[in-house]
Amino acid sequence: MKFIVSSNSLQKKLQVLGGVINSSNTIPILDHFLFQLDNSKLIITSSDLETTMISSITVDSTSKGEFAIPSKLLIDTLKTFPEQPLTFTVEENNIVEISSSHGKYALAYAEGDQFPKTVNLDDPSTTQISSRVLQKAINSCIFASGNDDLRPVMSGVFFQFSTESITFVATDAHKLVKYSRSDINASNTAEFIMPKKPLNLLKNIIDSDHEITIEYNNSNAKFELEEMTIICRLIDGQYPNYEAVIPNENPNVMSIGRSTLLSSLKRVSIFANKTTHQVRLKIAGAELNISAEDIDFSNKAEERLTCDYVGDDIEIGFNSRFLIEMTNNLESNDLKLEMSLPNRAGILRPMDGYSESEELIMLVMPVMLNN
């Protein structure tokens, strides 16, 4: 078995596929790429059992066969080559010989049939979505998902498809993000929870606008991109009723420039208590007063900003890290902060930068103020 391939093309492909591979695996074969050669088409697969990535590359060959090659050793070797054709020769004695214009390099390979079989989705539902829409949805939500192993359903992003719209939700019980599109719909209603790892891989490999086909059933989801397929196991469980925690009556509404608020929060939060990260927002008339204090070290900061405000005077406390993270993830020049009471969640919404068919809601829980 023999094939010739461009060193740069192969390295770029493997760099992406290598994102799935864990730094330490209990099963040694998961440290490998599966190479399946079918004449001029080389199909490459990487997996961590939960997530599998498959891609293909055109090579010069008339051979057929499969083998598993150590991922780290191969990527480290390819990084050192300038652009040139490399010849891979698979010998009978479990050795792959790579020939370049400089020399020859031998790697031990494993048999291809040791590699875990790719999951086939039984009777899946299908939805098509623009890659840019999916990328925006992931970027909008993923930071709000949790890391608690005891509550795995909160460690992913909730996909909610209906015949009228699609919705993406993420929450860690302190903050919640909901992103909806009314201009895209699915052929039937479906709900599933996607793990974070494949979503991070997905958003990083989208570099052009094209249609992505999503296939899903009760246990797995499959994303078909132009040159890549990602198959992953879904998070099992019932997602919490997020609609119940979004307050409907929020009579106190503050409008302010996003970058103005963000830079102010970043400065003031430096002086906040390192355990609670608490910042105090005091809004009266057209003035927003942001303050933070760390009594243990006598650190204190206060800033005054002008804003547009409708409602009763209010004093409310938030965790500055959550507020900064949310403000940072809004793609707008101005934002609205909607509130009802100091012990009720605040809602952030963008005022521009989003189309009429999009809705983005960011909910942040308040913290108890120390008077």
In whole angstroms, what separates CA 249 from the centre of its chain? 31
Residue 177 resides in a domain: yes
* 96 and 164 fall within a common domain: no
* 220 and 256 fall within a common domain: no
- Of 56, 29, 193, which Cα lies nearest the Cα of 112? 29
CA atoms within 13 A on the CB side of 46: 24
* 62 and 134 fall within a common domain: no
* 304 and 362 fall within a common domain: yes
* 131 and 236 fall within a common domain: yes
Residue 174 resides in a domain: yes
Q: Where is the domain boundary, 114, 135, 156?
A: 114
DSSP annotation string for 223-250: EE-SSEEEEEEPBPSPPP-GGGGS-S--
CA angle (136, 158, 265) in 5-degree steps: 55
pLDDT at 371: 62
Residue 183 resides in a domain: yes
pLDDT at 186: 86
In whole angstroms, what separates CA 285 from the centre of its chain? 39
d(Cα 309, Cα 92) in Å, to the nearest integer? 76
Residue 201's DSSP bridge partners are none
* 322 and 346 fall within a common domain: yes
3-class DSSP assignment, residue 319: strand
Which residues span the domain enclosing 36? 2-114
| Beta strand pairing call for 125-130 and 211-216 | antiparallel
Neighbours of 155 (CB within 10 A): 18
Neighbours of 233 (CB within 10 A): 16
Residue 99 resides in a domain: yes
d(Cα 1, Cα 14) in Å, to the nearest integer? 20
Q: Where is the domain boundary, 214, 244, 274?
A: 244
- Of 208, 54, 198, which Cα lies nearest the Cα of 116? 54
Domains in the chain: how many in total?
3
* 238 and 312 fall within a common domain: no
* 251 and 236 fall within a common domain: no
Residue 144 resides in a domain: yes
Residue 119 resides in a domain: no
Q: pLDDT tens across 152-175, in order?
A: 999 999 999 999 999 999 999 999
* 254 and 306 fall within a common domain: yes
Long-range contacts from 31-35, C-beta under 8 angstroms, 24+ separation? 31/70, 31/71, 31/72, 32/68, 32/69, 32/70, 32/71, 32/109, 32/110, 32/115, 33/68, 33/69, 33/71, 33/74, 34/66, 34/67, 34/68, 34/112, 34/115, 35/66, 35/67, 35/68, 35/69, 35/112
pLDDT at 98: 96
d(Cα 114, Cα 29) in Å, to the nearest integer? 7
For 221, counting Cβ atoms within 10 Å of its Cβ (0-12 exposed, 13-18 middle, 19+ buried), the class is: buried
* 129 and 240 fall within a common domain: yes
For 105, counting Cβ atoms within 10 Å of its Cβ (0-12 exposed, 13-18 middle, 19+ buried), the class is: middle
Lookup: tokens for 208? 């052009």
Q: Where is the domain boundary, 226, 244, 262?
A: 244
* 359 and 283 fall within a common domain: yes
End-to-end CA distance of the chain: 75
* 88 and 133 fall within a common domain: no
Residue 120 resides in a domain: no
Ranges of residues in the chain whose predicted pLDDT is under 70 = 371
Residue 310 resides in a domain: yes
pLDDT at 185: 87
3-class DSSP assignment, residue 156: strand
Residue 41: which CATH number? Answer: 3.10.150.10
